[in-house]
Amino acid sequence: MNNHFKRTGILFVLSAPSGAGKTTLCSALRQKPDFVYAVSCTTRKPRPGEIDGEDYFFLLAEDFDRRLATGDFLEHAEVHGNHYGTLKSTVNENLEKGVDVLIDIDTKGAGAIRACDSPFICDALADVFIMPPSLDELQHRLRKRGTESEDQVATRLRNAAVEMEGWREYKYTIISSSMEEDIEKFRAVMRAERYLSRRLVIES
């Protein structure tokens, strides 16, 4: 037999409450280039050390609105007063080539992808929620980060409590511990998804 197997691309969607370590986890995962990281667009201002085109595409509100009007986004949401969106082009082009894509988005964005009307995207989807061990631990991490005021921390904690209630909507949930363990757990999910029989096609 001259047949050989080809795997379709997987859309890994990673969500977590603010301060749960999602950005750090994604940065660590990106050190191994076995997927494409879909850089999101946002209207928020860059934080110290963030690079345009690498961490986010930082857009003016009018630029974001123009892209939204032309249907450029796979999903979009407003979070903490800022707008975020994932470009369709990056996702679709890679999945069609059999290349895995990782998206780092909030729970609203993940819900929008689950509800999308594209069978191609829904079949490719593998969504993962990073669950903080407790709100107290999340509060500690947010204060340690030192990038928000006390009012902002309080707002993020209220939002986190709501987001954490939606963990059952995700295919996978990882209870956060050390960064090293979180990385290994997420890579275990990636390995399992890549071995699914339904993701394989035979080419002659």
Q: Residue 120 is which amino acid?
A: F
Do the Cβ atoms of 34 and 100 come closer than 8 Å? yes
Minimum mean pLDDT among 29-38, 96-105, 142-151: which range? 142-151
pLDDT band at residue 144 using 50, 70 and 90 as cut-offs? confident
Q: Which residues pair with 91 in a beta bridge?
A: none
**What is the tens place of the pLDDT at every residue in 11-23?**
999 998 877 778 8
Residue 81 has pLDDT above 90, yes or no: no
49 vs 154: which has the higher pLDDT: 49
Global pTM reads 0.85
Structure tokens at 170: 């995700």
pLDDT value of residue 63 = 96
Count structural domains, the chain.
Answer: 1
List the CATH number of the domain containing 83: 3.40.50.300
Question: Measured between alpha carbons, how far is 190 from 192 in angstroms, rounded to an integer?
Answer: 6
Alpha-helical (H) ranges within 33-134 are 61-69, 88-96, 107-114, 119-124
pLDDT value of residue 160 = 83
Percent of the chain with pLDDT over 90: 58
Phi/psi region, residue 74 (left: phi>0; alpha: psi -120 to 50; beta: rest), is alpha
pLDDT value of residue 2 = 58
pLDDT band at residue 149 using 50, 70 and 90 as cut-offs? confident
Domain of 129, in residue numbers: 4-203
